[in-house]
């Protein structure tokens, strides 16, 4: 039981390049989330998916797209990376719609992305 | 905007109880209070949550005031491994947008 797995763990991109961050959970959770965390800051919600086939914007969605490929996987795509997107990205999952509604949420270990 | 207010940092002596406050004055009747922590740059870890009653688990206790406008997370015997950023989050039972604040950075002093 791996929980929430994110790949890659580290990535360096050049400005304008594109890439997809992968996230998979093996807990049969309905809800999945993508957050970013900048140095010294808290987590900010980028996108979330309450169930397979649905996605919604969070606090900071600009510059990102997401795909809920199936119940297990939720990917985050940067179409044209910018230095402002240098951050640590966390994926999370929980059983119900609200993050941890009457249940705990599980986070991956993060993807450290640098855009130069 | 985050629905909670926390002090940016706190110190606690090792072996003592760490009491972390959180204000959530705009909380409504069906909103839960959750606590998570983040050690170094790892993914956040769930600690405890509650609605109205005080709660206790193997990690911590959560004390919620009667008017529900504030709460306190208690780590009964803090150790150096409890050094982390602690986030207090208010979650509406059907709200999909879960907002983290900046949290409280807890320093455990040897």
The string of pLDDT tens digits covering residues B60-92 is 999 999 999 999 999 999 999 999 999 998 876
Q: Is A88 on the interface with B (CB under 8 A)?
A: yes
With a CB cutoff of 8 Å and minimum separation 6, the contacts of B74 are: B17, B18, B19, B20, B60, B61, B62, B63
Binary contact (B98, A98; C-beta < 8 A) = yes
Residues 38 through 77 of chain A touching chain B, CB cutoff 8 Å: 41-45, 48, 50, 56, 58-59
Residue range B27-66, pLDDT digits in tens: 877 788 899 999 988 999 999 999 888 999 999 999 999 9
Q: Do B45 and A107 touch (CB under 8 A)?
A: yes
Contact indicator for B18, B74 with CB cutoff of 8 Å: yes
Say whether pLDDT at B110 is over 70.
yes
CA dist A66 and A34 (Å) reads 9
SS3 content of chain B, % helix, strand, coil (to 5): 5, 50, 50
Give me the mean pLDDT over the A18-40 stretch.
93
Please name the member of A88, A98, A110 whose beta carbon is closest to the beta carbon of B93: A98
Give the closest of B41, B44, B94 to A98, CB-based. B94
Residues A58-116 pLDDT 10s: 889 999 999 998 999 999 999 999 999 999 999 999 886 544 455 678 999 999 999 99
- Which of B72, B74, B60 has the alpha carbon at shortest distance from B18? B74
The whole-number pLDDT of residue A3 equals 93
- From A105, A91, A71, A85, select the one nearest A7 (Cα to Cα): A91
Residue B93 is predicted with a pLDDT of 56
Strand partners, A94: A31
Task: Report the pLDDT value the prediction gives residue A11, as an integer from 0 to 100.
Answer: 97
Query: Which residue of A58, A68, A105, A108 to mutate against B (max B Cβ within 10 Å)?
Result: A105
pLDDT of residue A88: 97
Position A100 scores a pLDDT of 46
Answer whether B43 sits within 8 Å of A92, measured CB to CB.
yes
> Coil, strand, or helix at residue A6?
strand
Chain A environment of B44 (Cβ under 8 Å) = 43, 90, 92, 105, 107
Contact flag B97-A59 (C-beta cutoff 8 Å):
yes
Largest pairwise CA distance in chain A: 42
* 3-class DSSP state of B82: helix
> Does residue B1 register a pLDDT over 60?
no
Tell me whether residues A108 and B43 touch, CB distance under 8 A: yes
* Strand residues in A8-86 grouped as ranges (E): 10-13, 19-25, 31-37, 43-49, 56-57, 64-68, 74-78
Segment holding B73, helix H or strand E: strand B70-75
């Amino acid at each position: 039981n791996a929980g929430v797995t994110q790949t890659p763990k580290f990535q360096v991109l050049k400005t304008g390049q594109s890439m997809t961050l992968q996230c998979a959970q093996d807990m049969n959770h309905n809800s999945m989330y993508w957050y970013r965390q900048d140095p010294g800051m808290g987590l900010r919600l980028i996108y979330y998916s309450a169930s397979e086939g649905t996605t919604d914007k969070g606090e900071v969605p600009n510059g990102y797209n997401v795909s809920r490929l199936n119940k297990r996987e939720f990917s985050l795509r940067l179409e044209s990376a910018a230095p402002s997107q240098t951050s640590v990205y966390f994926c999370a999952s929980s059983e119900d719609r609200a993050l941890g509604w009457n249940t705990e949420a599980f986070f991956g270990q993060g993807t450290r992305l640098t855009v130069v | 905007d985050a629905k909670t207010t926390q002090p940016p940092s706190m110190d606690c002596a090792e072996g003592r109880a760490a009491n972390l406050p959180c204000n959530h004055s705009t909380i409504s009747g069906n909103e839960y209070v959750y606590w998570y922590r983040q050690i170094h740059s790892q993914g956040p870890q769930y600690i405890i949550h509650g609605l109205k009653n005080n709660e206790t688990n193997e990690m911590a206790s959560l004390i919620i005031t009667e008017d529900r406008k504030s709460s306190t997370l208690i780590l009964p015997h803090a150790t150096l491994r409890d050094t982390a950023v602690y986030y207090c989050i208010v979650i509406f039972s059907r709200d999909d947008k879960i907002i983290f604040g900046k949290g409280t950075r807890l320093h455990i002093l040897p």
